[in-house]
Amino acid sequence: MGLVFPALLKWIGREQRSLGTDVGTLYAVNTASSVLGAFVAGFVLIATIGVNTGLLLLAALYGATSLLLVSSKPARLVSGLVVMVIAGLVLNPEIRAPRYWYNGGFTQAFAVPEANTAFLEEGVTATVGIVQNGSERQLTVNGVIVAQTKEHDLWDLLSKAHLPMLIHPNPKRVALVGLGAGVSLGAVEKYDVDVLDCIEISPEVVRACRLFERVNQDCLADPRLNLILNDGRHFLETTDKEYDVINVDPTDPPVCPLYTQDFFHACKNRLADGGLMVQWVPVFRLSPDNIAIVFNAFLQEFSSTSIWYNGTAALLIGRKGGPISINLQRFIARANSPGVRESLALIGNPDPWMLLAMYVGDASKFLEQHTAPIPENTDDRPFLEYTVLRSPDAMRAKEYWTLKMLAGLGTPIERVLDPGAVVPSFQTEFYRMRTITNSFFSARLRLFEGNNQEARALVERTITGLKVTPEELRCLDHFYSLGVQ
């Protein structure tokens, strides 16, 4: 690839009289062709003939070009044979077929057999696939798992969707950045919203989403939905709409454009006064230092932020203008509405007290504990993107130390409760559930430390002493066991 341009320079340099003009023309043609080549490869070849066939076609063109650049018969014979071999590969349908690989924690790749491939499309913006393992499905974008039908993953997607809708006084205008499997969208549709914009950059994701109707509850059929095929960041920076809730779909670092302070700023600008933004933070993927970077970037834009832990990830819920206030009566009434119960049935129907028990605290303790400077994470200084994979800790070690950090950020939930909406059963019901989740959380830390017997004993005492029902246990199982099998 790098040999062609010098060869052309030597070839046109034979005429001294027009050397300057010829070299300038060659550079102009080369620059224009580089732009055109990138456009054709990304927007034409991949979309029409796929990555494999496109690469083979380009290889054939390089081989054909070599025929023009060599003069000896042996070299021309070799070049001709290469072109013929590549042409044979192009004609082989098995070679042309897309290959499905998915990413294992950004450290290894796994080939997906055809028998386990439920969907695979190569598009202009992404390669989108669905891995089928028995009754479970995993949605991947460029090989990275972005959604699963496993119950612990549904906890992530549903809690992220429901919590801001339960907290906001009157969430009528909602934007979702990213469609994914549509689980969060399906949850938001259970509320009485007037404006429902979902921004998704990849049309292949939209087609794949239709294979998740069991868990997204046929979200694409809702007549209120305005599905926008666009880059979510670009849309928020160019629209003049204002929203009551902005919900961002999960992306695993080091895919980090949606973790910068600039992105959080763009979201805040599109919130109405009192609007809420929810940001998913994967504690299993980030070290405590990485978590601090994300938290700090978020808090620079949302000084009023509450921290929640759903058993798999942390959730940041920031409010534009003034502190967050939770009306407990309204929270419980909405959480018990038929539509919301139907959505929560996917994860065992957790009651409102279990949802509230995910509250960790407001951001005040984080700011108090991190007095030293924290590196900024902005578009032009993407610190997180360049450091997240350099941490020497294994995934389990990262999660352990991050959970230890979260354990130190707790503040009383009464700080964010509206005192005028008291519920008589709050003291008994909430603190019973808070004690259960705290015990399961502590047991999980003991598992990380290798104290398995102590962890099991703590869980058993909690189940017996607080009369944890089988239904509650199903909802809370991942608080204790996920990630430490």
Q: Tell me the catalytic residues.
A: 249
SS3 category, 329: helix
The structure tokens listed for 346 are: 């996917």
Of 140, 47, 149, give the one whose Cα is nearest residue 100.
140
Q: Please name the residues in contact with 461: beta carbons below 8 A apart, sequence gap of 6 or more.
A: 439
Question: How many residues does the structure list for the chain?
Answer: 485
How many H helices and E strands in the chain?
A: 21, 14
Kindly state the tokens that stand for 131. 């891995």
Among residues 224, 197, 217, 200, which one has the least CA distance to residue 146? 200
With contact defined as beta carbons under 8 Å apart, do 243 and 271 qualify?
Answer: yes
Name all contacts of 117-124 with Cβ < 8 Å and 24+ positions apart: 118/211, 119/207, 119/208, 119/211, 121/204, 121/207, 121/208, 122/46, 122/47, 122/50, 122/51, 122/98, 122/204, 123/46, 123/47, 123/202, 123/203, 123/204, 124/42, 124/43, 124/46, 124/47
User: And the tokens for 97?
Assistant: 């077929």
Helical H segments across 70-212, by residue range: 73-91, 93-96, 151-167, 183-188, 203-209
Strands laid side by side in the 136-141 sheet = 117-122, 127-133, 136-141, 144-148
Environment class of 430 (CB within 10 Å of its CB; exposed 0-12, middle 13-18, buried 19+): buried
